């Protein structure tokens, strides 16, 4: 197992470098930091432009620039944004934290409920519950987040608030805190996350319940399940020890990849709920052509996806010895 982990990790490093180099090249071509600088400083002299390029490592070939940028990145010298001239890290840190809190909470809620529904549906195949869960899953998958978000906002924030004659919204429409809140307040923070988490979780529940149901049904029909039953083990133990564990193998892979993508932000949900996460950060930075803001986030997104893929591979190998031995 250790050898497998080392080998997979060793492969991940060149993949990370190659992908981030390609990303660097693409982002630089798309945002052109020198042009962005000139848009903000239209009267800059050629000398000033050269100074800017020198100071930001924008001279030499693209590989040379990438190496220089990477050196600054790993030493946490992330520089300032082009627009506003503000340090990149504090804003990016805040956005990352917000997206991770939202994404991980929604993933935890969504995957837990989704797997539960999937297991129950598979165990009660063609029951009323299974039929209802299947129909609900199709609805959940079909409703885009911008529709479910608006529906939830209208019902929980506007209609319910009016019906109950409340002074403040039953559930908040947007933001991380109520307007004017300046101190940390866990209760208010949770209250403000309910609707965005629900919007994201609806799709996760729908998707994972289908994955789990299908996977468990596959496993239930396999020969080793018959073998397990023939040993005289109770059905409950057969399901818990053999069926669910094996059915989880593909699910773990998908979950790891999904969670790894969270740092990229949940763009639609974040925009609708005015949630200042990485999705919002990335869109704004791209709109401004702000290379110093875009590139560190892109690196983190790529790294996160690679790391979580690696974790998925390792989990897969741990759950299924055939993989690491093969």
Partner 1 sequence: MNVLKSRSRWLILVSVFALFVSACAGTTDETTTTAGAEATTTTAAAEEGTTTTAEAGAQGAMTVTVDINPDAVWSDGTPITVADFECTWRAFLNTPGSISTAGWTEILSVAAGSSDKQVVIEYSTVYAPYKTLFNQILPAHTVANCDDVSTDFLDNIPVSARPWQLEEWSDQQAIMVPNEAYWGDDKPLASRLVQVPRAEDGGIASLGAGEVDFIFPQAFAGITDALAADNIQFEPGYGTNYEGLYFQQGADRGGPFSDPVFREAFSKSVDRDLILANIYDPIFPGSPLLQCGLWVPTVGPWCDNTQFVDSYDPEGAAALLEENGWAKDGSGMWAKDGVVPEIKWMINTPNPRREATQALMIPEFAAAGFNVVADNGDAASVFQQRLPAGEYDLAMYINTASPDPSVTSIMSCDQVPSAANNNQGQNSVFWCNEDASALMLQSDTEIDEAARAELIHQIGQSLVDDHVMLPLFQFPNIAAWRTDLIEGDAPAADAANYRAFNNSSQLWQPTGDDEIVVGAEQWPECINPVTECANSSWMVWTTSFVVLPAIWDTTSDGGFVLTNLVAGEPTVTVN
Q: What angle do CA 267, 250, 2 make, to 5 degrees?
A: 105
The helices-and-strands tally (H runs, E runs) of the chain is 16, 0
Is 94 a binding residue for partner 1 by CB under 8 A? The answer is yes
What residues pair up with 87 in beta bridges, in sequence order? 80
Helix (H, G, I), strand (E, B) or coil at 6: helix
Least distance CB 98 / partner 1 (angstroms): 10
* Cβ atoms of residues 26 and 302 within 8 Å: no
122 part of the interface to partner 1, by CB under 8 A: no
Region from 6-14, 86-94, 110-118, 297-305 binding partner 1, contact rule CB under 8 A? 86-94
Beta bridge partners of 80: 87
Spatial contact of 1 and 317, defined as CB atoms under 8 Å apart: yes
Question: Any contact of residue 168 with partner 1 (CB under 8 A)?
Answer: yes
Q: Which of 273, 291, 299, 308 binds partner 1 (CB under 8 A)?
A: 273
- Cα angle for residues 220, 225, 227 (degrees, 5° grid): 160
How crowded is residue 247: how many other Cβ atoms within 10 Å of its Cβ?
25
Which position among 40, 70, 100, 257 is part of the footprint of partner 1 (CB under 8 A)?
40
Burial group, residue 162, by CB count within 10 angstroms (0-12, 13-18, 19+): exposed
Per CB under 8 A, the segment of 13-21, 146-154, 198-206, 231-239 that binds partner 1 is 146-154
Number of residues that bind partner 1 (CB under 8 A): 40
Q: Is 158 in the site for partner 1 (CB under 8 A)?
A: yes
204 forms part of the interface with partner 1 (CB under 8 A): no
Identified binder of partner 1 from the candidate list 157, 201, 282, 298, rule CB under 8 A? 157
The residue range among 129-137, 270-278, 295-303, 315-323 that interacts with partner 1, by the rule CB under 8 A, is 270-278
Question: Would you count residue 173 as binding partner 1 (CB under 8 A)?
Answer: yes
Among 83, 210, 242, 324, binds partner 1 (CB under 8 A): 83
The residues, any chain, with a CB within 8 Å of residue 13's CB and separated by 6 or more, are none
With residues binned 3-state (H G I as helix, E B as strand, rest as coil), the percentages for the chain, rounded to 5, are: 80, 0, 20
180 scored as a contact of partner 1 (CB under 8 A): yes
Exactly one of 6, 26, 150, 190 binds partner 1 (CB under 8 A); that residue is: 150
Single residue of 72, 161, 222, 315 touching partner 1 by CB under 8 A: 161
What gap in Å lies between CA 316 and CA 146, rounded to an integer?
34
DSSP strands (E only) in 123-194: none
Name every residue whose Cβ is closer than 8 Å to that of residue 7 and which is 6 or more positions away in sequence: none
CA 176 vs CA 181, 187, 225: distances in Å: 10, 11, 48
Among residues 9, 86, 131, 227, the one that binds partner 1 under rule CB under 8 A: 86
Candidate residues 50, 68, 101, 175; the one interacting with partner 1 per rule CB under 8 A: 175
- One residue of 105, 125, 284, 309 binding partner 1 per CB under 8 A: 284
Per CB under 8 A, 26 contacts partner 1: no
Among 60, 71, 135, 178, which residue interacts with partner 1 (rule: CB under 8 A)? 178
What are the residues binding partner 1 (CB under 8 A)? 39-41, 43-45, 48, 81, 83-86, 91, 94, 150, 153-154, 157-158, 161, 167-169, 172-180, 182, 271-274, 276, 284, 288
């Amino acid at each position: 197992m250790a050898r497998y982990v080392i080998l997979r990790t060793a492969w991940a490093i060149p993949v990370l470098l190659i992908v981030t180099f390609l990303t660097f090249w693409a982002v630089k071509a798309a945002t052109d930091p020198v042009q962005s600088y000139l848009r903000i400083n239209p009267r800059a002299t050629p000398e000033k432009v050269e100074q800017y390029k020198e100071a930001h490592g924008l001279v030499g070939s693209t590989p040379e620039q990438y190496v220089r940028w990477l050196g600054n990145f790993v030493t946490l010298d992330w520089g300032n944004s082009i627009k506003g001239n503000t340090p990149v890290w504090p804003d990016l840190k805040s956005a990352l934290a917000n997206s991770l809190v939202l994404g991980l909470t929604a993933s935890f809620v969504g995957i837990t409920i989704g797997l539960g529904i999937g297991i129950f549906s598979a165990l009660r195949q063609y029951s009323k519950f299974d039929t209802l869960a299947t129909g609900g899953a199709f609805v959940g998958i079909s409703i885009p987040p911008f529709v479910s978000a608006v529906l939830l906002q209208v019902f929980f924030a506007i209609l319910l608030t009016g019906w109950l004659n409340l002074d403040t919204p039953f559930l908040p429409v947007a933001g991380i805190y109520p307007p004017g809140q300046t101190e940390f307040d866990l209760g208010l923070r949770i209250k403000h996350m309910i609707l965005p988490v629900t919007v994201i979780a609806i799709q996760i529940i729908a998707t994972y319940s289908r994955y789990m149901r299908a996977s468990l049904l596959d496993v239930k029909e396999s020969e080793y399940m018959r073998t397990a039953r023939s040993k005289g083990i109770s059905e409950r133990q057969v399901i818990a020890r053999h069926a669910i564990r094996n059915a989880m193998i593909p699910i773990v892979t998908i979950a790891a990849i999904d969670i790894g993508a969270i740092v990229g932000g949940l763009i639609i949900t974040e925009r609708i709920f005015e949630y200042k996460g990485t999705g919002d950060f990335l869109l704004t930075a791209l709109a401004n052509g702000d290379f110093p803001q875009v590139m560190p986030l892109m690196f983190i997104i790529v790294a996160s996806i690679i790391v979580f893929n690696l974790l998925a591979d390792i989990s897969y190998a741990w759950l299924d010895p055939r993989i690491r031995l093969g």
